[in-house]
C-alpha cells in the first residue's frame, strides 16, 4: 500500500489502491502476462534482415503506443489534479439533507482538478485566463461534482452561446494563432457584440486571471444551486472556496516571463507543495437565500453574470477542503477524471439558470467523445465509492461483471432487483417546482443589466488593481487589428467607468463613444439581437471581498524565497534567516553563479539548487542577497554582474521583498534599488534594526503593489 497515513480511512484511496500497480522488482511482461526476454531487439529474418510480422511483442508495444493519445478536453484541456479530503465544520442540516454537509466532522474524499480554459494541454500555466476548479466529492450517497471556476460569473447568460464564445477565444481557425491567449481579434469581436460579458471581462482583465498559485485562488460554483432540506424547504445556494493562504497574483510582465522560464509553474507549485507537506487548504462557504427571497435583489439570481454581494448575503464558512496527496499517474487520474455539474445527490438540486441547464447536457456528451465509451464511470478515478447496480449493460471496455439473467426493469426473473429506492432510503427525487409560462425562445428582461455589477467590481478594486486591469485591457486590445472592434469594446467600457474607457482609448488610438444598439459598425443584416442595457447603479456600491488586497496577508507559509550567494557568503547569517523563515513555514532555495558547491565563510560548503542561468527571479516570492562581502564581490565580477543585477532588478520591478544582507552594499548600489530614493517597506537592508522580521512582514504582504510606479520609474 502506498497510501499516506492520513488516508487510512479514506474509502476512495482504498478503492484506487485495488486498481494500482507498481513495477518495482517485477519482470517485464506483455499485456497478456507473458514474461519478455528481450525488449531491445525486434524479431528479424537475419541480423540485418526485415522485421517479421510474427513479432507479437513488437506489434503489441507499437500498437499500444500508436493509440496512447485521447482527445484533449475541448475546453479546460490543461489541468493539474490532486486528492484530498473535505471536512464539515458546521452542519447545514437546516438547509440540506446532503449527508456530507450535515454530519458534523464528517470527512469526504475528494479529487480536485484545476485548469486553464482556452489553451491546449501543453500550453503555459500562466496564460491570462479563467481557471477551472472542479471538485469531485466521493460521498456515501454517490459522487457529487462541484465544477467550479476561480471567477464567480461567466461571459454569457445562455448555454446556446457557449460554442460561439469558445470558438472566438480559441486560436483563430485559419492559422491556429494565438495559443492560450484571448488577445486577438475573434475574441474581442465576440465580446464587443456581447455586452453581457462585461462583468466577466472585468474579472478576466484583473490579476485574478494570472494567479500566483493554484493554492492561492478562490473557487466559485458560479450558478445559483438549490439546497433542499428534509422537510422539502428550498434555499438558493452559492458555493465558495476561499484559500487559507489568501488570493494572490503575479504581475503580467512576470507571467509572460514565467511562461518561458517554467511554463509548468502552477503544476509544479501544486505538486511540490503537496510533496513538502504544505497541504493546500480552502474554507468552504455558502451564501444561502430562502426561496421566498428569490426576487429581493436588484439582479436575477438565475443570471450567471451576477454575483450576490457578500454585503447583501454573507458567506458562511462550513468546511475545509485540504489537498494532501498527489496523483500516482497523471493520465489515469487527472486526465481521465470526468466531472459533470449534473452529478448531484439528495439535498442538492439545479436552478433554472439557462447556462447551468445547458451544461447539464454537455458534460456527459463530451466524455463520450473524450473517453470513448459510456462506461467512463468505471475508470477508477471516476468510480463512486458505492457499488453500482442497474440494468445498463455492455459498451466499449465494460469492466463490471454483473451476474444474473435479467437486465431489464421491471423483471420477475431477477426477483425485481435492483429495486428502486424510496426517498427515505436515499433515493433521489428531483425537487418539485411549479413552472409557469409558455414555451419561448427568449431572454428574461430581468437579465438585461450588463454593466451595474461590472461597475461594482471595478469600483471595489484598489488603485494598483485598477491600474493592472486597465493595462491588461490595453495589452489585449492593442493586439486587435480591427479598429472598429477596439472602438466597440471601449464603447462598452464607457458604461462601466469613463476614466477607464478614456485611458484605454487613448492607448488604442480610438475615440470613446458609448456603444448603442443597433450599432453602426455592424453589417445591416447582422443578426445581433442584443437588448440595450440601461446604465444602472448597483445596489451595493463597493464590496470588499472583490479586492485581492483584502485577502489574507499574515502568512508566508509555503512561499519560495531565493537566496543569492557566492563563495565567502556568511553561513551564520544564512542559517539565522533560514531557521526563522522555515519556522514560519516558507522555504529558502540557494542560487549561485554555478552549480558547484559554495564555500561559506565558516568553511562549510553548500550545494546550490539553482544557478543564475538556470532560474529567474520570477520563480521566487522574495530575494535574500546573502550577507558576506566576498560573496557580493564575486557576484559582481564581470562574468556574473549582468545576471546578478538582472535577477535583483527584475524582482524589484515586480514589487517583491528584497533583503540585502550585511556586506552587500555594492550590489545594492549597482542595482536599480540603490538608485531610488524613496521609502519602500519591501526593501530591507543591513541598516535596519530587525531586518528578518521586516523581511517576513514584507513577504506576507505579497508585493508592494502601491509602489509599482516608483519601482518602475
Residues contributing to the annotated binding site for heme? 73, 113, 162, 359, 363, 370
- Grid cell 461594482 — which residue? 456
| Nearest-angstrom CA–CA distance, 68 and 523 | 47
Nearer to ligand HDE, 70 or 397 (CB): 70
* Binding of ligand HDE by 119 (CB under 6 A): no
Residues 528-557 that bind ligand HDE (CB under 6 A): none
* Shortest CB 159 distance to ligand HDE, Å: 3
Nearer to ligand HDE, 79 or 246 (CB): 79
Q: Do residues 309 and 335 lie in contact, with contact meaning Cβ atoms separated by under 8 Å?
A: no
Nearer to ligand HDE, 74 or 498 (CB): 74
Q: Is 666 left (phi over 0), alpha (psi -120 to 50) or beta?
A: alpha
* Shortest CB 222 distance to ligand HDE, Å: 4
Q: What's the CA angle centered on 77, arms 76 and 79, to 5 degrees?
A: 80
Residues 35-64 that bind ligand HDE (CB under 6 A): none
**Type and span of the H or E element at 243:** strand 234-243
- Grid cell 514565467 — which residue? 258
3-state secondary structure of 492: helix
Q: Residues within the annotated binding site?
A: 73, 113, 162, 359, 363, 370
**Strand (E) positions, 48-106?**
79-88
Nearer to ligand HDE, 75 or 98 (CB): 75
Tell me the residue nearest to ligand HDE as measured from the CB: 132
* Shortest CB 224 distance to ligand HDE, Å: 11
Q: Which of 10, 83, 143, 149 is catalytic?
A: 149
Residues 208-227 that bind ligand HDE (CB under 6 A): 222
| Nearest-angstrom CA–CA distance, 157 and 197 | 8
* Shortest CB 114 distance to ligand HDE, Å: 8
Q: Is 246 left (phi over 0), alpha (psi -120 to 50) or beta?
A: left
Nearer to ligand HDE, 358 or 414 (CB): 358
From the CB of residue 222, how many other CB atoms can be counted at a distance below 10 Å?
23
- Pick the binder of ligand HDE from 366, 478, 519, 611 (CB under 6 A): 366
> Which stretch, 154-162, 167-175, 176-184, 551-559, contacts ligand HDE (CB under 6 A)?
154-162
* Binding of ligand HDE by 10 (CB under 6 A): no
69 contacts: CB under 8 Å, gap ≥ 6:
none
Residues 474-533 that bind ligand HDE (CB under 6 A): none
Binding mask 167-206 for ligand HDE (x = CB under 6 A): ----------------------------------------
Strand partners, 659: 624, 684
* Binding of ligand HDE by 118 (CB under 6 A): no
Cell of 96: 440540506
3-state secondary structure 375-432: HHHHCHHHCCCCCCCCCCCCCCCCCCCCCCCCCCCCCCCCCCCCCCCCHHHCCCCCCC
| Nearest-angstrom CA–CA distance, 104 and 108 | 11
- Pick the binder of ligand HDE from 88, 148, 205, 505 (CB under 6 A): 148
Nearer to ligand HDE, 136 or 711 (CB): 136
Cell of 536: 444602472
Longest pairwise C-alpha distance within the chain: 90
Q: Do residues 711 and 680 lie in contact, with contact meaning Cβ atoms separated by under 8 Å?
A: yes
- Pick the binder of ligand HDE from 126, 134, 344, 623 (CB under 6 A): 134
* Shortest CB 157 distance to ligand HDE, Å: 10
> Which stretch, 229-237, 242-250, 354-362, 404-412, contacts ligand HDE (CB under 6 A)?
354-362
| Environment class of 518 (CB within 10 Å of its CB; exposed 0-12, middle 13-18, buried 19+) | exposed
Residues 401-460 that bind ligand HDE (CB under 6 A): none
Cell of 289: 437565500
Strand order in the sheet with 587-592: 610-611, 587-592, 560-564, 622-625, 657-660, 683-684
**Buried-state track 131-158, b at ≥16 Cβ within 10 A, e below 16:** bbbbbbbbbebbbbbbbbbbbbbbbbbb
> Which stretch, 362-370, 598-606, 640-648, 679-687, contacts ligand HDE (CB under 6 A)?
362-370
Binding mask 279-318 for ligand HDE (x = CB under 6 A): ----------------------------------------
Backbone angles phi, psi at 22, to 5 degrees: -135, 145
Strand partners, 133: 114, 148
> Which stretch, 146-154, 289-297, 560-568, 615-623, contacts ligand HDE (CB under 6 A)?
146-154
- Pick the binder of ligand HDE from 115, 182, 206, 470 (CB under 6 A): 115
Clarify whether 702 is annotated catalytic: no
* Shortest CB 234 distance to ligand HDE, Å: 21
Residues 317-346 that bind ligand HDE (CB under 6 A): 338-339
- Pick the binder of ligand HDE from 7, 12, 16, 73 (CB under 6 A): 73
- Pick the binder of ligand HDE from 170, 212, 343, 359 (CB under 6 A): 359
Clarify whether 149 is annotated catalytic: yes
> Which stretch, 148-156, 487-495, 590-598, 660-668, contacts ligand HDE (CB under 6 A)?
148-156
- Pick the binder of ligand HDE from 116, 149, 326, 567 (CB under 6 A): 149
| Nearest-angstrom CA–CA distance, 86 and 107 | 5
* Binding of ligand HDE by 154 (CB under 6 A): yes
Nearer to ligand HDE, 380 or 691 (CB): 380
Q: Do residues 173 and 122 lie in contact, with contact meaning Cβ atoms separated by under 8 Å?
A: no
> Which stretch, 144-152, 378-386, 435-443, 478-486, contacts ligand HDE (CB under 6 A)?
144-152
Strand partners, 658: 623, 683
Cell of 83: 486528492
Inter-CA distances, 191 with 179, 219, 388, 504, 710, Å: 18, 24, 44, 16, 34
> Which stretch, 28-36, 182-190, 353-361, 451-459, contacts ligand HDE (CB under 6 A)?
353-361
* Binding of ligand HDE by 132 (CB under 6 A): yes
Binding mask 75-94 for ligand HDE (x = CB under 6 A): xx--x---------------
**Type and span of the H or E element at 683:** strand 683-684
3-state secondary structure of 700: helix
Q: Which residues are near ligand HDE by CB under 6 A? A: 73-76, 79, 113, 115, 132, 134, 147-149, 154, 159, 162, 222, 338-339, 355, 358-359, 362-363, 366
Active site residues: 76, 149
Amino acid at each position: 500500500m502506498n497510501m499516506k497515513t492520513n488516508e487510512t480511512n479514506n474509502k476512495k484511496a482504498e478503492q484506487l489502491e485495488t486498481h494500482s500497480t507498481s513495477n518495482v522488482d517485477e519482470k517485464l511482461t506483455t499485456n497478456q502476462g507473458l514474461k519478455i526476454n528481450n525488449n531491445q531487439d525486434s524479431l528479424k529474418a537475419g541480423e540485418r534482415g526485415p522485421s517479421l510480422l510474427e513479432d507479437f511483442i513488437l506489434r503489441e508495444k507499437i500498437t499500444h503506443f500508436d493509440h496512447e493519445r485521447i482527445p484533449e478536453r475541448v475546453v479546460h484541456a490543461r489541468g493539474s489534479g490532486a486528492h484530498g479530503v473535505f471536512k464539515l465544520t458546521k452542519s447545514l442540516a437546516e438547509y440540506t439533507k446532503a449527508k456530507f454537509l450535515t454530519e458534523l466532522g464528517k470527512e469526504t474524499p475528494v479529487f480536485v482538478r484545476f485548469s486553464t480554459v482556452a489553451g491546449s494541454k501543453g500550453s503555459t500555466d500562466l496564460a491570462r485566463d479563467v481557471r477551472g476548479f472542479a471538485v469531485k466529492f466521493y460521498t456515501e450517497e454517490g459522487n457529487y461534482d462541484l465544477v467550479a471556476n476561480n471567477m464567480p460569473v461567466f461571459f454569457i447568460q445562455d448555454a446556446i452561446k457557449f460554442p460561439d464564445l469558445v470558438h472566438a477565444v480559441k486560436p483563430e481557425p485559419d492559422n491556429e494563432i494565438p495559443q492560450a491567449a484571448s488577445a486577438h481579434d475573434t475574441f474581442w469581436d465576440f465580446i464587443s457584440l456581447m455586452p453581457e460579458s462585461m462583468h466577466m471581462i472585468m474579472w478576466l482583465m484583473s490579476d485574478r486571471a494570472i494567479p500566483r498559485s493554484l493554492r492561492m485562488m478562490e473557487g466559485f460554483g458560479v450558478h445559483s444551486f438549490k439546497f433542499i432540506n428534509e422537510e422539502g424547504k428550498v434555499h438558493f445556494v452559492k458555493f465558495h472556496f476561499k484559500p487559507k493562504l489568501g488570493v494572490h497574483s503575479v504581475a503580467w510582465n512576470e507571467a509572460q516571463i514565467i511562461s518561458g522560464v517554467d511554463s509548468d509553474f502552477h503544476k509544479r507549485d501544486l505538486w511540490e507543495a503537496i510533496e513538502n507537506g504544505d497541504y493546500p487548504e480552502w474554507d468552504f462557504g455558502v451564501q444561502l437565500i430562502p426561496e421566498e427571497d428569490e426576487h429581493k435583489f436588484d439582479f436575477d439570481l438565475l443570471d450567471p453574470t451576477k454575483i450576490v454581494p457578500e454585503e447583501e448575503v454573507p458567506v458562511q464558512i462550513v468546511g475545509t477542503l485540504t489537498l494532501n496527496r498527489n496523483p500516482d499517474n497523471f493520465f489515469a487520474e487527472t486526465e481521465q477524471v470526468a466531472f459533470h455539474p449534473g452529478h448531484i445527490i439528495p439535498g442538492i438540486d439545479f436552478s433554472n439558470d439557462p447556462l447551468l441547464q445547458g451544461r447539464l447536457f454537455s458534460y456527459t456528451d463530451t466524455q463520450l467523445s473524450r473517453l470513448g465509451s459510456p462506461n467512463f464511470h468505471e475508470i477508477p478515478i471516476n468510480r463512486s465509492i458505492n457499488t453500482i447496480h442497474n440494468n445498463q449493460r455492455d459498451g466499449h471496455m465494460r469492466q463490471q461483471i454483473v451476474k444474473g439473467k435479467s437486465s431489464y426493469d421491471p423483471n420477475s426473473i431477477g426477483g425485481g432487483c435492483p429495486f428502486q429506492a424510496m426517498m427515505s432510503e436515499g433515493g433521489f427525487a428531483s425537487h418539485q417546482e411549479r413552472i409557469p409560462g409558455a414555451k419561448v425562445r427568449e431572454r428574461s428582461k430581468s437579465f438585461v443589466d450588463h454593466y451595474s455589477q461590472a461597475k461594482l467590481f471595478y469600483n471595489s478594486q484598489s488603485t494598483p488593481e485598477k491600474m493592472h486591469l486597465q493595462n491588461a485591457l490595453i495589452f489585449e486590445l492593442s493586439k486587435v487589428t480591427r479598429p472598429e472592434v477596439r472602438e466597440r469594446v471601449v464603447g462598452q467600457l464607457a458604461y462601466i467607468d469613463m476614466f477607464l474607457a478614456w485611458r484605454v482609448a487613448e492607448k488604442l488610438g480610438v475615440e470613446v463613444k458609448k456603444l448603442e444598439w443597433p450599432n453602426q459598425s455592424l453589417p445591416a443584416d447582422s443578426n445581433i439581437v442584443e437588448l440595450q442595457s440601461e446604465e444602472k447603479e448597483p445596489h451595493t456600491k463597493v464590496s470588499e471581498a472583490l479586492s485581492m488586497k483584502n485577502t489574507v496577508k499574515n502568512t508566508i507559509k509555503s512561499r519560495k524565497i531565493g537566496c543569492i550567494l557566492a563563495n565567502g557568503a556568511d553561513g551564520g547569517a544564512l542559517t539565522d534567516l533560514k531557521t526563522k523563515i522555515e519556522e514560519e513555514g516558507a522555504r529558502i532555495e540557494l542560487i549561485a553563479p554555478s552549480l558547484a558547491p559554495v564555500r561559506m565563510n565558516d568553511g562549510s560548503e553548500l550545494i546550490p539548487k539553482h544557478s543564475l542561468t538556470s532560474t529567474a527571479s520570477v520563480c521566487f516570492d522574495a530575494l535574500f542577497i546573502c550577507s558576506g562581502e566576498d560573496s557580493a564581490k564575486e557576484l559582481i565580477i564581470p562574468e556574473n554582474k549582468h545576471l546578478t543585477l538582472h535577477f535583483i532588478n527584475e524582482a524589484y520591478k515586480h514589487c517583491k521583498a528584497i533583503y540585502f544582507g550585511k556586506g552587500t552594499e555594492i550590489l545594492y548600489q549597482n542595482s536599480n534599488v540603490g538608485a531610488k530614493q524613496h521609502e519602500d517597506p519591501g526593501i530591507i537592508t543591513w541598516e535596519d534594526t530587525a531586518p528578518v522580521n521586516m523581511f517576513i512582514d514584507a513577504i506576507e504582504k505579497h508585493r508592494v503593489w502601491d509602489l509599482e510606479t516608483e519601482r518602475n520609474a
